[in-house]
Amino acid sequence: MRRAVGQLVGVGSLDRERLEIDPAIGLVLERILALLVELAVAINNHVLESVLGEVPQKSADSFGAAEKAGMIDAELATALVPPEGPHNVLLQLYMDTEPEEVAAVVSAATSGYEEYVQQVTRWIEANPSA
């Protein structure tokens, strides 16, 4: 997960010109964002099964359950599940309709997943038997 976040950090400028010159960057970013969601949900579900004895039915619900278990705080749980849709889906939509918004989506996801790694790492260190 740290590697994928690092790849987002290292992507550089995401202005309209870059996206037009290098359309593959959008595909790469979408895949990294999808991977981050999948990894976070897998981590959440693994821990939640052992701590709460349950796994949420919906992927997005795993972030709320992770908050309930104390793995992450409420602000982060909300940030990782934007009401408009997952970051990777937002990126796909904005690539076609509002490319000037792509950088903001990637920035929000990068910030959120950097914080996720930090909070979950602290939780795991504080709960080694989980």
The per-residue pLDDT for range 79-106, each reduced to its tens digit, is 999 988 899 999 999 998 999 999 999 9
Angle ∠(104,9,21) on CA atoms, nearest 5: 65
Q: Provide the domain limits for residue 34.
A: 2-11+20-126
Looking at the predicted structure, is the pLDDT value of residue 52 above 90? no
Q: How does DSSP classify residue 99?
A: G
Distance separating alpha carbons of residues 17 and 13, to the nearest angstrom: 9
The number of domains in the chain is 1
Looking at the predicted structure, is the pLDDT value of residue 3 above 90? yes
